[in-house]
Structure 1
Amino acid sequence: MERIPLSNAAFEGDNNAYLFTEGSEVALIDTGDWTATTREQLEAALAERGLAFADVDQVFLTHWHGDHTGLAGAIQAEGGAEVYVHEADAPLVEGDEDAWNTMYELQEEYFEQWGMPEEQRAVLRERMSDAETGAASPTVTTFADGETFPVPGGELEVVHASGHAAGLCMFETTFEGRREVLSGDALLPVYTPNVGGADVRVDRPLERYLRALRGIVEADYHRAWPGHRDPIDEPADRAQHIIDHHAERAWRVLDALDREGPCDTWTVSAALFGDLEDIHILHGPGESYAHLEHLERAGTVVREETEYRLADGVAEVLAAKDERRWHLEY
């Protein structure tokens, strides 16, 4: 397996595509985005190895976001590659109009529920409209958690890791007798993947993501190969760090409610992240919502229509600064 770094203007850092080759067989994990620059980079990387888009037999996608799927259609068009993606993300990757309209409608419902001001909604709509490039959509073959696929030089096992996206999957494999994982955006070396805003279709997004992280801790992989930036040499430690990060963020959410009194998601987001720009207008309140929803189900927070308040007795715990209690609950 070889990692192919690809440029990306997004804050997560450069994308990665992963190349498997053996004999005449060629497989890719993710493709980078749809831009001309990324296409030139991927074509050049393949050419250095005597390959072209037409030589790719299989493309496995970690999830539906455009910075991971952007060139899948172009690769398929060149040589008929089989494109695989989790069944939950398949309609979006294939460009199904009904699926995308449902996504946009759900986003608008959440914007209203979160209390997002109209000015920010307009900025976000324009941002998302600009991202619609008309890149070729592939025809896909779906997979589900636990399925295995032979690839050149090895085998991939699908590990569903929903949270950041409904169909986000990792691919477990073995190198030199050691279990490793291609983690997509489930585990990143620098940023913590957004939950709640990055895919509003996900029910109980934080609960699902924490479950995926605990799975990474328990698996104790030798190495993780993420969707962005450099390999992660201690995946279990990184996953536990993100779990702890969310426990600390839960404390900050509760502190914001204690200071602000009953308030909506947008107000909590402002307390956590300040003024937001670009795609963060979606990610900030989305992450805040994911925590508020998680805390509501735990009985720590009470929601009344679009506003949240602390449950009885929680303010006293906050005053005692007993932060350990919330770490245990997360």
Structure 2
Amino acid sequence: MERLSLSNSAFEGDNNAYLFADGPETALIDTGDWTTTTREQLVAALADRGLEFADIDRVFLTHWHHDHCGLAGEIQAESGAEVCVHRDDAALVEGDEDAWSAMRDRQERYFEKWGMPEPKREVLRDRIAGAGTTDETPTVTTFADGDAFSVNGTELEVVHASGHAAGLCMFEADLEDGREVFSGDALLPVYTPNVGGADVRVEHPLEKYLRALRRIVEADYARAWPGHRDPIDDPAGRAQHIIDHHEERAWRVLDALDRRGPCDTWTVSAELFGDLEGIHVLHGPGEVDAHLDHLEQAGAVVREETEYRLADGVADDLAATEAERWELAF
């Protein structure tokens, strides 16, 4: 297996594609986006190894976001490669117009629910207008949690890790240093993957993501190969760090409600992140909404229409020392 680093203009850092070419089959995990620069980089990286798109037999996708699946259609058009993705993301990867229309309709409903100002909505509409649009979209084969694939003698086992995206999956494998995982965007070395805004189809996204992180902690992998940037040598430690980060953020959400009184998601987002631009206009309130949903499930906040307030007694818990605070449902 080799890691191919591909450029990405987004804040997460360079994308990774993982090449398996040490046997009769040539396979990729993720492809990078469909920009000319990324395509040229992937073509060059394959050429350095005596390969081209036409040689690729299978592509395994971690999820539907274009920076991970963008070239899958073009690869399939040139090679006839089988493109595999979790069933929850299949329609978006295939470019199904109904699926993309439903996504945008749901985003609009969330913008209203969050209390997003109209000028910010326009920023997002302009930015996401071309999402899912490419000249080549693949026909996919779907998989589910627990499915396994053999690639040149290496068994890849699917681990569904929903949260950041409905169909986000990792792939476990026994590699050089033991049980390792291709973590996609479920576990990144620098940034914490956005939950809530990155895929508005996910119900209770923070709950699902925390479950995936605990699974990583329990698995205690020898190494994680993430969707962006460098390998992670302590995946369990990194996963626990992100769990702790979300617990800290939950207290910040509660503190904002304590200071502001009943308010909507957009107001809490402004308290936490200030004025947002670009894709963060989606990610900021989306993440806050995921936390408010999780806190509502835990009984810490109460929702009334589009506003949230602290549940009875929570203000006293906020005033207590950290050691005395009641435990959230993490």
* TM, length-normalised to structure 2: 0.98
CA distance in 1, matches of 2:107, 2:196: 11
User: Given that residues 146 and 159 in structure 1 are in contact (C-alpha distance below 8 angstroms), is that contact kept between their aligned partners in structure 2?
Assistant: yes
User: Given that residues 261 and 309 in structure 1 are in contact (C-alpha distance below 8 angstroms), is that contact kept between their aligned partners in structure 2?
Assistant: yes
User: Given that residues 92 and 132 in structure 2 are in contact (C-alpha distance below 8 angstroms), is that contact kept between their aligned partners in structure 1?
Assistant: no
CA shift digits 1:11-70 (9 cap, x unpaired):
000000000012331000000000000000000000000000000000000000000000
User: Given that residues 107 and 200 in structure 2 are in contact (C-alpha distance below 8 angstroms), is that contact kept between their aligned partners in structure 1?
Assistant: yes
User: Given that residues 247 and 327 in structure 1 are in contact (C-alpha distance below 8 angstroms), is that contact kept between their aligned partners in structure 2?
Assistant: no
CA distance in 1, matches of 2:326, 2:36: 46
The equivalent of 1:2 in structure 2 is: 2
Please tell me the residue identity of whatever aligns with 2:149.
F
The equivalent of 1:178 in structure 2 is: 178
The equivalent of 1:28 in structure 2 is: 28
CA distance in 1, matches of 2:118, 2:176: 54
CA distance in 1, matches of 2:180, 2:174: 6
Alignment map for 1:216-295 (pairs within 5 Å) = 216-295=216-295
The equivalent of 1:99 in structure 2 is: 99
CA distance in 1, matches of 2:21, 2:68: 20
The equivalent of 1:193 in structure 2 is: 193
The equivalent of 1:120 in structure 2 is: 120
CA distance in 1, matches of 2:328, 2:309: 21
SS at match of 1:92: helix
Please tell me the residue identity of whatever aligns with 2:288.
S
Shift of 1:129: 1.4
CA distance in 2, matches of 1:149, 1:27: 11
CA distance in 2, matches of 1:328, 1:260: 21
CA shift digits 1:167-215 (9 cap, x unpaired):
0000000113600000000000000000000000000000000000000
Please tell me the residue identity of whatever aligns with 1:141.
T
CA distance in 1, matches of 2:264, 2:324: 26
CA distance in 1, matches of 2:275, 2:71: 33
Which stretch of structure 1 is more off in the superposition, 126-135 or 197-206? 126-135
Shift of 1:315: 0.4
CA distance in 1, matches of 2:303, 2:94: 37
Please tell me the residue identity of whatever aligns with 1:186.
A
Shift of 1:152: 2.2
SS at match of 1:109: helix
The equivalent of 2:129 in structure 1 is: 129
Structure 1 stretches lacking a partner, 5+ long: none
Alignment map for 1:137-148 (pairs within 5 Å) = 137-148=137-148
User: Given that residues 302 and 311 in structure 1 are in contact (C-alpha distance below 8 angstroms), is that contact kept between their aligned partners in structure 2?
Assistant: yes
Matched, 1:72 2:72: yes
The equivalent of 2:40 in structure 1 is: 40
CA distance in 1, matches of 2:104, 2:315: 37
CA distance in 1, matches of 2:58, 2:163: 25
User: Given that residues 56 and 81 in structure 1 are in contact (C-alpha distance below 8 angstroms), is that contact kept between their aligned partners in structure 2?
Assistant: yes
SS at match of 1:34: coil
Displacement over 4 Å in runs of 4+: 130-133
SS at match of 1:277: coil
SS at match of 1:85: strand
Kindly tell me: are residues 19 and 152 of structure 1, through their superposed partners in 2, closer, same or farther at Cα, counting changes over 3 Å?
A: same
Structure 2 stretches lacking a partner, 5+ long: none
The equivalent of 1:208 in structure 2 is: 208
Aligned pair count reads 330
CA distance in 2, matches of 1:101, 1:324: 48
Please tell me the residue identity of whatever aligns with 2:100.
W
Q: CA RMSD in A?
A: 1.2
CA distance in 2, matches of 1:325, 1:18: 44
The equivalent of 2:168 in structure 1 is: 168
CA distance in 1, matches of 2:324, 2:75: 50
User: Given that residues 298 and 328 in structure 2 are in contact (C-alpha distance below 8 angstroms), is that contact kept between their aligned partners in structure 1?
Assistant: no
Please tell me the residue identity of whatever aligns with 1:42.
L
User: Given that residues 265 and 289 in structure 2 are in contact (C-alpha distance below 8 angstroms), is that contact kept between their aligned partners in structure 1?
Assistant: yes
CA distance in 2, matches of 1:112, 1:271: 19
The equivalent of 2:304 in structure 1 is: 304
Alignment map for 1:151-162 (pairs within 5 Å) = 151-162=151-162
CA distance in 1, matches of 2:73, 2:324: 48
User: Given that residues 20 and 26 in structure 1 are in contact (C-alpha distance below 8 angstroms), is that contact kept between their aligned partners in structure 2?
Assistant: yes
Matched, 1:18 2:18: yes
Q: State the percentage of identical aligned residues.
A: 77
CA distance in 2, matches of 1:326, 1:212: 23
Shift of 1:313: 0.3
Kindly tell me: are residues 2 and 268 of structure 1, through their superposed partners in 2, closer, same or farther at Cα, counting changes over 3 Å?
A: same
User: Given that residues 56 and 81 in structure 2 are in contact (C-alpha distance below 8 angstroms), is that contact kept between their aligned partners in structure 1?
Assistant: yes
